[in-house]
Homo-oligomer: A and B are copies of this chain.
Amino acid sequence: MAVEVMRRREVPTERMIARLKERFGDRVSTAAAVRDQHGKDESYHPIEAPDAVFFARSTEEVAEAVKLCAEYKVPVIPFGTGTSLEGHVAAREGGLSIDVSQMDQVLRVSPEDLDCTVQPGVTRKQLNEYLRDTGLFFPIDPGANASIGGMTATRASGTNAVRYGTMRDNVLSVTAVLADGRVIKTASRARKSSAGYDLTRLFVGSEGTLGVITEVTLKLYGIPEAISSAVCAFPTIAAAVDTVISTIQAGVPVARIELLDEVQINACNHYSKLDLKVAPTLFFEFHGTTAGVKEQAEMVASFAEDNGGEGFKWTSSAEERSKLWQARHDAYYAGLSLRPGSKGWATDVCVPISNLAEAINETKKDLETASMPVCLVGHVGDGNFHLCFILDPNKPEEFEEAAAINERMVKRALALDGTCTGEHGVGYGKIGFVEEEHGPATIGVMREIKRALDPHNLMNPGKVIRLGANH
């Protein structure tokens, strides 16, 4: 069907591109390499190249391009850094990729209000670099150095979410270009408001299907007076998870609790030159005052001990801490290094924390017979965990096997009152699971909203929800 739609759209698309080139010159590219690069994210999904790529420099330019697309009924796919994981940027029906990476300005920082406004192409590392002298930081850290626009669009989170929340909680306002070129700003800079529908949260996680995000206002945080970290090995994953549950229940304001299974620890030991015991392991980070982080670490140490944790040690050394978290952030590459020439497939689910041990244990059992290495890591304070399949790109049967394991893991998460994706998003890779998770009535409402805001289904079509035959 996608091919047919593309053909129907071919001629107008050519005309539209010609007009766009007239207006923006060489910032509109139809070079195969550029198109291919924009039709592919970091996932296992194949390239589906757009017809052209437009490198936009302002909200007004995005609006102009989107209006032209609307006139010719050409799809629009927003593009940040291309680090998504479920085929979010694939041009399933062709169309124009709007690359916002040149919209990379931090527009405003207000230290007094602990907030800032950025263009969507600013990356999370760039933002924290920019903030370096202010004593502030932005905590959301998906593995990749993603763009703030993309992180907003996918409702990203990462290791700090257990304390600082996800993009849902940290975006104060969004400026977006809608399907017909209208520009809206969803909210003021007030920390809270009861003034109308929460359009901010509607755009957070909408994956470009409702509009192109062109500005984001974010909450910031003061860099804590003290930061310490800890690491602890456990006899079983269940023991590690029980430690997490005790920590969360006791209200310890832990900044990070990461679980790495024995496969992942083994990979990290080799890749990041660590000498951790090869066992299910928790990494912790504590933020607060000097006395506060000590107190937090002591509480967690006692929970770990109750659950048979071995060798809990905490440190305030910035160097040791940095080594530990660098290893955590490199977990994906560490996994790949287990098998030279391999390709990774990362997937995630999230369940209520009381169901986490069951979800993980059943998944681990399922992995016992897997024919490829699979690493398990998790932001377990939120009940969120990931699998990374380490695949031989020349063995399609491995992809099929991974797909089956993934499907069983997702169905298990749904049966345990969880979600098919805690932070990676839907793209088109999880579009069927989203339907299963929400059921027809709730999906129906999502469709009605999509149709209301994008009646011709031009904004990143084929992502998040399927609209059916007549769109």
Contacts and interface: CB of A to CB of B under 8 A. Distances in A.
A426 B351 contact: no
18 contacts: A112-B249, A154-B194, A155-B192, A184-B442, A184-B444, A188-B414, A188-B419, A189-B418, A190-B417, A193-B419, A194-B421, A194-B426, A195-B430, A195-B437, A195-B438, A198-B204, A199-B446, A222-B251
A251 B418 CA distance: 32
B354 A113 contact: yes
Interface stretch (A227-235, A301-309, A388-396, A447-455): A447-455
Contacts of A453: 445, 448-449
Interface string A441-471: 1111110111111000000000011000000
A166 interface: yes
A110 B464 CA distance: 30
A438 B295 CA distance: 45
A465 B196 contact: yes
Interface in A160-179: 161, 165-166, 168-169, 178
Interface residues of A, number: 93
A182 interface: yes
Given A113-B354, A295-B291, A446 B196 contact: yes
Nearest to A444: B182
A352 B190 contact: yes
Contact of A194 (B190, B202, B423): B423
A161 B423 CA distance: 25
Contact of A445 (B199, B383, B434): B199
Interface string A111-155: 111110000000000000000000000000000000000000011
A83 interface: no
A439 to B, nearest CB: 8
A149 B111 CA distance: 36
A169 B438 CA distance: 21
A373 interface: no
Given A196-B434, A292-B292, 8 more contacts: A110-B354, A115-B352, A189-B352, A192-B384, A194-B424, A195-B434, A195-B437, A198-B205
Contacts of A187: 419
Chain B CB within 10 Å — which of A112, A423, A434, A437 has the most? A112
Nearest to A451: B452
A289 B114 CA distance: 26
Interface in A263-293: 289, 291-292
A245 B206 CA distance: 34
A382 interface: yes
A183 B452 CA distance: 20
A350 interface: yes
Contacts of A168: 192, 198, 201
